[in-house]
Structure 1
Amino acid sequence: NQLMNAYDRPKRRKVEHMLAATGSVMRLVAEKGLPGRQDLTSSEREWLDKDLGNAVSEWEKSDFKEAAALIRTAQQLLSVDHAFLNELLTLLLPLVRNIRETFSRQGWLSFDGLLARARTLLFEHPSVRERIKRDYRAVLVDEFQDTDPVQYEIILAVSERQGSRADVWHDMLLEPGKLFIVGDPKQSIYAFRRADIEAFDRVMEKITAGGGMAQTLTTNFRSDAAVLEPVNEIFDRLFERRPLVQPANVRLEAHPQRCAASIEPGVRLSVTTPDGEEETFDAAGATRGESEVLARWLTDEVLSRPAMKPGHVALLFRKLTQADAYLDALRRHDLPYVIEGEKHFYRRQEVLDLVNLMRVLEHPHDEVALTGLLRSPLGGLTDRELYELKQAGHFNYLRAARLEGWLHARAAAVRRLYEHLAWLHRMIPVLPLTEAIELMFDRLPILDLAAASLHGEQAVANLMKVKQMAASLADRPHMTLSGFVELMIARLEEQPDESESPLAEESLEAVHVLTIHKAKGLEFPIVVLPGLHQGSGRERGVSHVSYDWSSGTYGLSLDRHWSLGSLMVHHKLRLREEAERRRVLYVGMTRAKDLLLLSGGSTTRSVGETVFDLLRNIGTGEIGTASTEALKVGGSAIPHRVIRAPERKRPSRRMDGADSTALIDHEKVAELWKIRTARWAEIRQTPHHVTPTTLGQSAASVIRETTQVRQDAEIGRLAGVVAHRLLERWDFSQDPSGLYTQVASALQAVLGPDDQSHAGTVAESVNDLLATFSRSEAYARLRSSRILGREVPFIMPWGDRQVMEGVIDIIYQFDGELWIADYKTDAVLADEAVLHAERYRVQSQVYKAAVKQSLRSEPRFHCLFLRCAAAVEL
């Protein structure tokens, strides 16, 4: 009845049909019990498989997803066959036990195996569990929403009360105040790694039921308020609270002192439509059109701004398999990009070219590898030139001399390459693997060509990673170049997870392309979520073996044989997957600091639910219609722009037949190279890390020394270290006479064995210093001030290429103003202090810049010369 009342009259006929069909299946189940398929009549099987199956397919195209899922469950109930699965287990278990024992004997253990054994150790060995509970007084777990149930049980066991020992997690009593967890269930997106949102909720319930507190953090230090407001409105509606499945939304607030955005902040919606009025897009066509629009938008509207770099932009995908069309558009528009993580290392062109080179050197008659090599930047031949080379019978680099009779513009270039290949082919067989690859890099301009490619530095880093991989495998017995080539070819076919060189993660010279899962924890000024017209896809099939932690239910399935447990677990997983898709969207949207672009194409249909579908259901305004200026969601209006798909930009090509030498200005290249060399020399001589002391040395050197040194330099240095140590811990509100009683302990902590002979002299020097300082106006001032920090470390960018590090002696507040003081133990007279303080002017500027950057307040600075009790403001 609730389902019927939810829909208007035209839809009720469909609903009635669906409910009637479901009732028929349920009656059949009730009459037959829970039979296997062999117990059904042929007519019943035909009705179940054909008529009902067709009906379900039709209903799934409508918006009655829950009813369609109910039909599928009813169908699956008819396939429950415990007898078959029990026989299967009887056959398989001895094999599984044998494999497990063999692995254990040989020391083969996966990470999951380590977790399982750790849990077993805690639960089956009470003495070990008690000792670990006693050893660890507190347990802090970060990113708690990403842990899996086995890890939950380990955490709970370690956090259990002393003397208590429960056999199952439900019965564990937690030690009050011991377990501290940090996690955001709205960002639980790792179900494929067995992260369990239900387990998260149940552990939270256990903690709070035991007297624990749950505190909600709502300040967002990353995003602009113009981004957060629409995100809050969207997920107030998409995050419908469902216990153990989906938490409610918690609205985020922007940090009040956030730096101003470098681009107009906010959330925008872009929809690409076909160019013609009567045209329609399928999913692939929409993706191609949208990718072209995005590439032009980045080129013309974003990266044309002086302050914006390609590295400020991130394209985030649910799966990187969706990224190919967008990468093609970036390449055609000469936009550098880097793909971070997953399976793309072995698909990078420079890696493929290097594998072809190694393959050709090992197998000279491999014409497929030779074709790839000749088409690469190393060969530089066009398809037409390759065809002509093949037709002339010169597809063999071991016969390079024959090219003398080939009258072709590229004959000389091909012959030079062939001669290099033939030389390497002769030399490499007698060399170890690492030296063989080193020789290739020395003999051929492989790295130079990679550096000159679109991806420049990243391409070079990837080639160096191949070299490092070879070096790491070189100690394997009989690992030759041939073996390494076969390994690389196998990896090219299997496409294992392998990220590119991490160089790109810190670069601002390339657009970041990565999955939302990889982006979790990261932030970018501009985030683009492309392909929002792409559906979630068909529902995944049931796993052969499944397990539900909270209920302890196992599920088994094979082909059309199911256990009841597998149906129950599958039903729960289906609900969780739908909720997790929304959480993945949330994580993607909250990576944006300044600008979030939601982008997609206008399609006639898609497989599964799309993000555009979600937005249509919660917003006002037709997505993809030019008359819609903004999509209104709650109190937010998201600007909406419809763009007709432009003609695709063609990739730039080399001008065939042109005299390349005429295009090169040799004098200009020489001048640029001279400038580059000078700049490189300057960079090499510039230290990466600097301190206020080293920065101020040059300034201090020009100030004339006015005072003779009145003490031994080493005694003065040690006295200064001891004085700083004392004042770092001293409470200025106490009687200053207490300082003298701590000199001996400070000396013991500071002086090494070689310094003990100076202990008496250093103690006398420190006492004299303290006697003067403790009676001074400067000390009285500190006594009446509010101390904000002592020995405060800082690190910040300095100039274009340097990092500044330092430690501030003391920061305090006096008469409403912020002050920085730096203790000086220099042996100067009071009337010389002002001139002497000029040595430290650069240091004062650095300290003030660091405090202003951190506290957003303009501080004042003075040097406190302790020996003469003079305070000099700079």
Structure 2
Amino acid sequence: EAIKEIISFSDEASQYIPDEEPKMGYDKLQEAVLSVKRMKGFHDYIKEDYNKIKLLENFSKSEKVTLNRWTSKEKAKEYRDSLILELQEKVINPILQGWREYCYADTIKFVLPAVEYYHELRQKVSMLNFQDLLLKTSRLLRDYPEVRQYFQQKYKCLLVDEFQDTDPIQAEIIFYLAGQDVYEKNWQKLIPRPGSLFVVGDPQQSIYRFRRADIAIYNLVKGLIKKSGGEVLKLQANFRSLHSIGSYLNPIFEELFSSGQGKFQAVYSPMQTVWEDNPQYLSGVKQLIISKESNKSDTIRQDAQSIARVIRDMLDKGFELVRTEEEIKAGASTSVTYKDFMILLRYRSGMDIYTRTLTEHGIPFTVSGYASLNES
């Protein structure tokens, strides 16, 4: 039945996929739909269980929909915001979960003795890993009301920042420390004491789903806070960025995020910038384009040279930046200085090329997060 639903959905969606591949390539959902179209040509291929699962997995990862790559943006938006999410939550994900539980049963049987052995070994030598610290703390607070009461009296208020990075065990600990009933063992039934819990988080920054710190936990805790009489405030104003940054990023985020609450995807929330761009000063988003034909090492070298030349040029020509009142009071000049620049790299590999290139251009720098001794 699940395969029939996917085929039916794909038959409809394929009508809105352009015949000619878009310049930036097909998005994830388009690729999944086209894979069904190809498979339909080989009926026996879809009959195999392995291939059915492969097809389902294609759609479980097809949340990304780029509106301008479809012939109908309205249909693409409908798929992104409701149809594909509903298909994933009600049909695809439950089947895949059952399949994985079936497949991994033998693997778990094989691995479990090693996990238990390692646990016993840590106990023998009086050592704990980070997961032990969380689990033992949670169990201690859950099973011993007097311990919970002691720490509640010691820590009357909890302030949790970056809450979107909180995993289920951390959420348990938070609610055991803030909950009114010290005898309640189910943390999801606990009601925080008035004024005991304050959390701040941005679900659009959630990147730790691989360790179960996902939108589901974020939304669950938000719901528990509201249910207990707490207040949820949405802060959308960005006091750091100029309007040109917001106008550049908002359309990108709008295409990537859902407009309605989903189990696995954050809801789109536009960035409301407050700082005006001043034409007298440097602002906005600039792009340094590197040829696609370049291999990885050439790309890194070209990128490093381009960045170094831009920094050197801006300093030599005396470019100016908008400064805040606080910066001006502290004696900051509007002229660009070395400390106004930050280079963010996705990967550590090749960082030595950037540092050497900056040195060649006479640009002083400090490096953070670089631990490769053999490349230093």
TM-score by length of 2: 0.66
Secondary structure in structure 1 of the residue aligned to 2:336 = coil
1:16 is aligned to 2:44: no
Instruction: Give CA-to-partner distance per residue, 1:414-446, whole Å, 9 cap, x none.
Output: xxxxxxxxxxxxxxxxxxxxxxxxxxxxxxxxx
Q: CA contact under 8 A between 2:215 and 2:266: conserved in structure 1?
A: no
User: Matched residues in 2 for 1:261 and 1:119: separation?
Assistant: 55
- Corresponding residue for 1:244? 263
1:294 is aligned to 2:307: yes
User: Matched residues in 2 for 1:323 and 1:122: separation?
Assistant: 45
1:265 is aligned to 2:293: no
User: Matched residues in 2 for 1:204 and 1:281: separation?
Assistant: 47
Q: CA contact under 8 A between 2:236 and 2:272: conserved in structure 1?
A: yes
User: Matched residues in 1 for 2:157 and 2:105: separation?
Assistant: 48
- Corresponding residue for 1:461? none
User: Matched residues in 1 for 2:196 and 2:105: separation?
Assistant: 47
Instruction: Give CA-to-partner distance per residue, 1:290-315, whole Å, 9 cap, x none.
Output: 33222222222345427222221111
User: Matched residues in 2 for 1:204 and 1:284: separation?
Assistant: 46
Q: CA deviation at 1:324?
A: 4.5
- Corresponding residue for 1:108? 127
User: Matched residues in 1 for 2:224 and 2:160: separation?
Assistant: 15
Change (3 A) 1:17 1:97: closer
1:235 is aligned to 2:256: no
Change (3 A) 1:171 1:18: farther
Change (3 A) 1:85 1:194: closer
User: Matched residues in 2 for 1:261 and 1:165: separation?
Assistant: 60
Q: CA contact under 8 A between 2:245 and 2:284: conserved in structure 1?
A: yes
What is the aligned counterpart of 2:10 among 3, 15, 18?
3
Instruction: Give CA-to-partner distance per residue, 1:655-690, whole Å, 9 cap, x none.
Output: xxxxxxxxxxxxxxxxxxxxxxxxxxxxxxxxxxxx
Q: CA deviation at 1:165?
A: 0.5
* Structure having greater relative contact order (Cα 8 Å, sep ≥ 6): 1
Higher share of residues assigned strand: 1
TM-score by length of 1: 0.31
Change (3 A) 1:81 1:326: same
User: Matched residues in 2 for 1:189 and 1:9: separation?
Assistant: 32
Correspondences of 1:21-60 after superposition (within 5 Å): 24=44, 27-29=47-49
Paired residue type of 1:18: M
What is the aligned counterpart of 1:85 among 84, 102, 107?
107
Change (3 A) 1:347 1:340: farther
Change (3 A) 1:234 1:322: farther
Paired residue type of 2:229: G
Q: CA deviation at 1:214?
A: 0.9
Q: CA contact under 8 A between 1:164 and 1:173: conserved in structure 2?
A: no
- Corresponding residue for 2:164? 145
Change (3 A) 1:24 1:194: same
- Corresponding residue for 2:217? 199
Secondary structure in structure 2 of the residue aligned to 1:266 = coil
What is the aligned counterpart of 1:330 among 354, 358, 361?
358
User: Matched residues in 1 for 2:132 and 2:34: separation?
Assistant: 53
Q: CA deviation at 1:142?
A: 1.9
Secondary structure in structure 2 of the residue aligned to 1:221 = strand
- Corresponding residue for 1:165? 184
Q: CA deviation at 1:342?
A: 4.0
Change (3 A) 1:24 1:211: farther
- Corresponding residue for 1:669? none
1:320 is aligned to 2:348: yes
User: Matched residues in 1 for 2:272 and 2:48: separation?
Assistant: 55
User: Matched residues in 2 for 1:321 and 1:97: separation?
Assistant: 36
Instruction: Give CA-to-partner distance per residue, 1:48-82, whole Å, 9 cap, x none.
Output: 7xxx99xx9xxx9xx9xx9xx98xx98x9599546
Q: CA deviation at 1:184?
A: 1.5
1:127 is aligned to 2:146: yes
User: Matched residues in 2 for 1:183 and 1:9: separation?
Assistant: 39
User: Matched residues in 1 for 2:115 and 2:361: separation?
Assistant: 54
User: Matched residues in 2 for 1:211 and 1:255: separation?
Assistant: 32
- Corresponding residue for 1:589? none
Change (3 A) 1:304 1:338: farther
Larger Rg: 1
User: Matched residues in 2 for 1:315 and 1:122: separation?
Assistant: 44
Q: CA contact under 8 A between 1:226 and 1:267: conserved in structure 2?
A: yes
Instruction: Give CA-to-partner distance per residue, 1:614-648, whole Å, 9 cap, x none.
Output: xxxxxxxxxxxxxxxxxxxxxxxxxxxxxxxxxxx
| Number of corresponding residues | 304
Q: CA contact under 8 A between 1:118 and 1:154: conserved in structure 2?
A: yes
Q: CA contact under 8 A between 1:198 and 1:244: conserved in structure 2?
A: yes
Q: CA deviation at 1:203?
A: 0.9
Secondary structure in structure 1 of the residue aligned to 2:247 = helix
- Corresponding residue for 1:708? none
Correspondences of 1:380-391 after superposition (within 5 Å): none
Secondary structure in structure 1 of the residue aligned to 2:290 = strand
- Corresponding residue for 1:489? none
User: Matched residues in 1 for 2:304 and 2:188: separation?
Assistant: 51
Change (3 A) 1:78 1:156: closer
- Corresponding residue for 2:30? none
**Structure 1 unaligned blocks of 5 or more:** 35-47, 275-279, 350-874
Segment of structure 1 superposing worse, 11-20 or 143-152: 11-20
User: Matched residues in 1 for 2:101 and 2:155: separation?
Assistant: 50
Q: Please report the RMSD computed on the Cα atoms of aligned residues, expressed in angstroms.
A: 4.0
User: Matched residues in 2 for 1:320 and 1:303: separation?
Assistant: 29
Change (3 A) 1:314 1:191: farther
Q: CA contact under 8 A between 1:236 and 1:248: conserved in structure 2?
A: no
Q: CA contact under 8 A between 1:303 and 1:309: conserved in structure 2?
A: no
Identity score, percent: 26
User: Matched residues in 2 for 1:338 and 1:204: separation?
Assistant: 40
Q: CA deviation at 1:108?
A: 1.7
Q: CA contact under 8 A between 2:238 and 2:271: conserved in structure 1?
A: yes
Secondary structure in structure 2 of the residue aligned to 1:170 = helix
Q: CA deviation at 1:261?
A: 9.6
Q: CA deviation at 1:17?
A: 2.4
Q: CA deviation at 1:207?
A: 1.2
Secondary structure in structure 2 of the residue aligned to 1:220 = strand
Paired residue type of 1:110: N
1:179 is aligned to 2:192: no
Correspondences of 1:555-574 after superposition (within 5 Å): none
User: Matched residues in 2 for 1:324 and 1:262: separation?
Assistant: 35
User: Matched residues in 1 for 2:124 and 2:153: separation?
Assistant: 32
Q: CA contact under 8 A between 2:178 and 2:196: conserved in structure 1?
A: yes
Paired residue type of 1:159: A
Q: CA deviation at 1:200?
A: 1.4
Change (3 A) 1:108 1:240: same
Correspondences of 1:397-408 after superposition (within 5 Å): none
Correspondences of 1:470-549 after superposition (within 5 Å): none
Q: CA contact under 8 A between 2:10 and 2:37: conserved in structure 1?
A: no
Change (3 A) 1:27 1:138: same
1:254 is aligned to 2:254: no
1:281 is aligned to 2:294: yes
